Amino acid sequence: MTLRIKTASENSEIDFSLQRLLDSPNGLERLALETLPPYIREIRDYEAFARKILFIHQITEADTHIINSEPYVYYPKDMTSHAAIYADDAEVPQLVIEGDGVNVGIFTVSSDDTTINLKRLMVQKYNYIERVRELSGQAIGLAEDNKLMTLVEALIATQAATQACSTTNTTLAKADLITLRKTIVQWDLPVAAFVMNQTRQEDILLWGETDLDELSRREILETGVRYTLWGSVRIVTSRAVPLHTVYVFSDKEFVGRMPVLKDITTKLTETANKLEKGLFIFEFLGMYLASHKAIGKLTIA
């Protein structure tokens, strides 16, 4: 077979066609979709949990009011509960002890700007742009989870006598989860979910026959894992949760709100290098823990 070298004219035509594709609407995405073999993941994709715990409230500009040039949304508060919020800077949790309402600041959560190289797009072995979007979206989810945990820790620290417990056990025992449940049940609230590190969930496989009913034992034998306890209490796992910590939450309506002014949005940005594009993902939202009574924390030795 004879190797044929493209002429300068043919190369110019290819370059012109490529540039025309890139300049067209969604051109970069169309180029990325040309080759779609499956890609290999090095680790399981991150699955965020904050939106499983807080009630998601989609808001508009009409729902907000301005304080010091920043948008806030108002929510009522139980006068007998302590609450926690972020201001518009989303850096330091603020505790709200008195009053019957709170102003929740709307802040920005964003991913690092990711550079998309045109050369890599042309030789890709999978949908490069879509994968970048997925990873950036997971980074957003991780940021949400970390902010929620920081808020939870700040609120529990003020009510450690009733909302925090500990154990000298080095593995998670059934009795430990029952003690943790009581931090919420004592206020006559339902228990909805335990949130723990996925490694800690493996401790449940060590539980004896007397710790689980027949249906639970069968589920563990068939699937090797347990995702609910005592009927409808969910087990939510996340590698963002410290190994020695387990959180418990009541139903969303009792835990708090996540007002979302603008949900996850992707933007392609220009860079100094004409052969590269920037991919930036952001959202505008707030976080409000409505009551210390709806959360609890267990610390394992």
Within its chain, how far is the Cα of 288 from the centroid? Answer: 15
Task: State the Cα–Cα distance between residues 66 and 72, nearest whole angstrom.
Answer: 6
Q: Which two tokens stand for residue 282?
A: 């952001």
Cα 189–chain centre separation: 25
Is 16 within a domain?
A: no
Query: Are 127 and 135 within 8 A, CB to CB?
Result: no
pLDDT at residue 136 in the model: 82
Cβ 235 vs Cβ 202: under 8 Å: no
Residue at 255: amino acid letter = V
d(CA 78, CA 85): 14
Q: What is the total count of domains within the chain?
A: 1
Judge whether 31 lies within some domain. Answer: no
Distance CA 154, CA 161 (A): 14
- 258, 291, 288, 298: which is closest to 59 by C-alpha? 258
What pLDDT is recorded for position 293? Answer: 97
Residue 288: give its domain's CATH number.
3.30.2320.10
Question: Which tokens is 149 given?
Answer: 């945990």
Q: With beta carbons less than 8 A apart as the criterion, state whether 106 and 285 touch.
A: yes
What's the pLDDT score for residue 22?
56
Does residue 36 sit within a domain? no
Is residue 38 included in any domain, yes or no?
no
Strands 164-167 and 295-300: parallel
pLDDT at res. 230? 77
Q: What is the dihedral of CA 167, 170, 175, 176, to 10 degrees?
A: 50
Residues in the chain: 301
Decide if 143 is inside a domain: yes
Domain carrying residue 59: 44-300
How many other CB atoms sit within 10 Å of the CB of residue 25?
Answer: 6
* Two structure tokens written together for 97: 């002890």
Global confidence as pTM: 0.79
What are the pLDDT tens digits along the chain (301 aa)? 444 444 445 445 545 455 565 566 666 555 555 444 454 455 677 889 999 999 999 999 999 999 999 999 999 999 999 999 997 777 889 999 989 999 999 999 988 767 777 776 666 655 666 777 788 888 899 999 999 999 999 999 999 999 999 999 999 999 999 999 999 999 999 999 999 999 998 888 788 666 666 666 566 555 555 577 877 889 999 999 999 999 999 999 999 999 999 998 888 777 777 777 777 889 999 999 999 999 999 999 9
List the structure tokens of 215: 């249906």
pLDDT value of position 91: 81
Across 53-152, the runs of DSSP E, i.e. the strands, are: 55-58, 65-67, 70-76, 83-86, 93-96, 101-105, 107-110, 114-117
**Has residue 30 been placed in a domain?**
no
Q: Please report whether residue 19 resides in a domain.
A: no
In-domain check, residue 149: yes
Torsion of CA 133, 138, 144, 150, to 10 degrees: -140
For the CA atoms of 77, 241, 263, 112, what is the dihedral angle to 10 degrees? 130
